[in-house]
Amino acid sequence: MDYRHEARKYLKRAENELGTFDDDRLKYVVLELRMAMEALTYDRAQAFKDEFPPSEYETWQPRKVMTILLDIDPTADCDATYSIGREKEYGVRPEKMESLGTEKILNMETIRKHYDALGSYLHVPTLKQVRSNKAHDYNKIRLRCEEIATAVKHVLSSPIFNVTLGSFASLPCMECGKPMRKRMPHGKNEVPAQCYECGASYVIIDKGNRQVEWKPLQHEIPCGNNSCDHKIVIWHHELEAGKSWTCPACNGRNTFCLGVRHEAELQD
């Protein structure tokens, strides 16, 4: 699927509808722009297809897709300018660099600011909203649509797109088996990672030589029964007051609790 091409079509239709200056047609502008935002986010996701296969997000909305992309690469929604040059000396930045252009990306801020708001325009105002004069303000909708159309146009006019650079770590989650991937930011030795499926958390440690270690964040918890020495291992995110388990050794029940222990005042 060429999402960029699709996004262009949505934008064109949105612009045509905006051009009619007919308030009753604004809902179509809203629809087209929402679809343009979706197409651009899926387009961005395709650049990460090795780490984030389309089958995983085919039913998701842009914000969720972008959240995962940002988790894989914190710079996934940043504009970037790329330049190349021949090094005269190995590892030394050349004096002459040739710019390849700047990539504009539909960033999380734009998605957050506009996507859900657009959705709200697609409903008939409730009676309460009408009574309190909070029905659709067409001028406001039009301004918002123009702002989004401009942002989408900028993204679509980038001379280069979907460049991703970086080194990765990937691993099936030890708890649920879902693939997890994480970019190792340049110059960082430790990166926290969390499985977005089950919540299991890890620390990825750079061991050098392109090797990383995924350290699960787990705790060993002894059974609360003093005459039992069984221990269970739990994930950090499972450590929560009220959670309980049956000890497989003594069959007793253990519950995490937050407590205050009181000792009465000493009387003499």
Residues that bind Zn ion (CB under 5 A): 173, 175-176, 195, 197-198, 200, 223, 225, 228, 230, 247, 249-250
Structure tokens at 262: 């009181």
The SS3 call for residue 174 is: coil
Q: In terms of Cα–Cα distance, which of 143, 163, 139, 160 is closest to 151?
A: 143
Q: Which long-range contacts (CB under 8 A, 24 or more apart) does 61-69 make?
A: 61/115, 62/37, 62/38, 62/111, 62/115, 63/108, 63/111, 63/112, 63/115, 63/116, 65/41, 66/41, 66/108, 66/111, 67/108, 68/196, 69/44, 69/45
Residues in the chain, overall count: 268
Quote the least distance from Cβ 46 to Zn ion, whole Å: 24
Nearer to Zn ion by Cβ, of 145 and 173: the residue is 173
Quote the least distance from Cβ 247 to Zn ion, whole Å: 3
Quote the least distance from Cβ 261 to Zn ion, whole Å: 22
Nearer to Zn ion by Cβ, of 103 and 197: the residue is 197
Nearer to Zn ion by Cβ, of 38 and 51: the residue is 51
Nearer to Zn ion by Cβ, of 40 and 173: the residue is 173
Quote the least distance from Cβ 177 to Zn ion, whole Å: 7
Q: Give, in order, the Cα–Cα distances in Å from 107 to each of 50, 70, 97, 196, 260.
A: 21, 10, 27, 21, 47
Q: Give, in order, the Cα–Cα distances in Å from 255 to each of 64, 223, 241, 261.
A: 34, 10, 8, 16
Tell me the C-alpha distance between 89 and 99, whole Å.
20
Quote the least distance from Cβ 228 to Zn ion, whole Å: 3
Quote the least distance from Cβ 173 to Zn ion, whole Å: 3
Tell me the C-alpha distance between 174 and 218, whole Å.
11
Nearer to Zn ion by Cβ, of 115 and 202: the residue is 202
Cα angle vertex 52, ends 39, 102, to 5°?
Answer: 55
Nearer to Zn ion by Cβ, of 107 and 254: the residue is 254
Quote the least distance from Cβ 62 to Zn ion, whole Å: 23
Nearer to Zn ion by Cβ, of 19 and 172: the residue is 172
Does residue 236 contact residue 218 with C-beta atoms inside 8 Å?
yes
